[in-house]
Structure formats: structure tokens, C-alpha cells
Amino acid sequence: MVFASIEIRNESIKYTVLLINKMGTVYEDEDQMSAILHAVGEYFEVKKKMDAIKAFTLSHPIVTLFSIVLVAMCSIPIVCFFTFIFGSICLAVTGFVLIEGTVLTIATVFFGISLLIVGFCAVGISGIIVAGFYVFDCSCSLIQKVSDRNMGEDNKLEPRTLKAEELRKIK
């Protein structure tokens, strides 16, 4: 347990609030905050001042009404300003999300189109190379068949065996 103390001194009064277990539950945190607020309220004598304000408002209702209207009228520009700020932030975030989403969508479409073009070019070039190789192979076999047909059986070159008499002449 971690103990910490907040001391508020008012001439002869000393207030100490023990903050127990900083990582406590929500209820413990609420108890700690209420204890701190209670100590601060007692230090500044908030209850006495509120009672004095209540007594003044009951005895002077016209001044109270004027004060309430004055505060309300003075707070309207502040409320409008903060509403404008909050609205601007919301619209900016929404606009950013929409614009960023649109940009990403357009970029994805362009990327997909470029991949399709590159893919079709690669398939086309590969097809041309394969077709060229196939045509070359077919041409070679066709030329071989034509040359075999034109030479005929009697024009074929066969390995010749030398007879014994021819061998003696050579030696």
C-alpha cells in the first residue's frame, strides 16, 4: 500500500487526507477524490459562502435575475466559440478521413490498373516468346521432313564400307 498525505493548513486546523493504494478500485478513487474535495471545500469555507449567496439571492431577486441574465448573455459567445471549434475539429477529421479514403481508393485503382497492364505485358511477351520457339521448332521439323522427302531412298548418304581390295590400294 502506498500512503500519501495532502495537508491543508488553516491557521489552527490541519487536514490530512490519506490516499490509500493508488491503483485501487473506482470506488476507492472516488472516495479519495471526495475526501480531497471535502478538505479543499472546508479550507476555502465554500459552505459559508454559498449560504451567504443564497441569503443575498432571496433578499434581492431583481439583482439575482439581472446577474443570471448577464452571465448567460456573456457565456453565449464563449459557447458559440467552443461549438465552432468542436464543429471545425469534427468536420476536419471527417473531411480528412473522407479525403484520405478517396485518395487511397484512387491510388489503389491506379496501382491495380498498373499491375494489370504489367501483367498483360508480361503474359503477352511470354506468349510471343513461346509462340516463336514453337514456330522455330515446327519449322525445323518441317525442313527436316522436306529434306528427307527430297533426297529420297537412293540419294541417301550411307556410310560406305571399304572392300579389302580398296584397302590394299590405299596402303
Domain count, the chain: 2
Same domain, residue pair 65 and 55: no
- Please write the tens of the pLDDT for every residue from 110-153: 999 999 999 999 999 999 999 999 999 999 999 988 887 777 55
Give the domain range for residue 23: 1-59
pTM over 0.95: no
Q: Is 8 part of a structural domain of the chain?
A: yes
Locate all alpha helices (DSSP H) within the chain, ordered by sequence. 26-43, 46-59, 61-151, 164-170
Name 19's bridge partners.
4
- Please write the tens of the pLDDT for every residue from 92-102: 999 999 999 99
Same domain, residue pair 65 and 43: no
Rg (CA), the chain: 51
Nearby residues of 170 by Cβ (< 8 Å), 6 or more positions away? 162
Same domain, residue pair 38 and 103: no
Q: Is 3 part of a structural domain of the chain?
A: yes
Determine the pLDDT at residue 1.
40
Same domain, residue pair 69 and 42: no
Q: What is the mean pLDDT of the chain?
A: 81
- Please write the tens of the pLDDT for every residue from 5-61: 444 444 444 444 444 444 555 566 778 888 898 899 899 999 999 999 999 999 999
Tell me how far apart the alpha carbons of residues 97 and 10 are, in angstroms, rounded to a whole number: 54
Nearest to 15, CA basis, from 47, 49, 45: 45
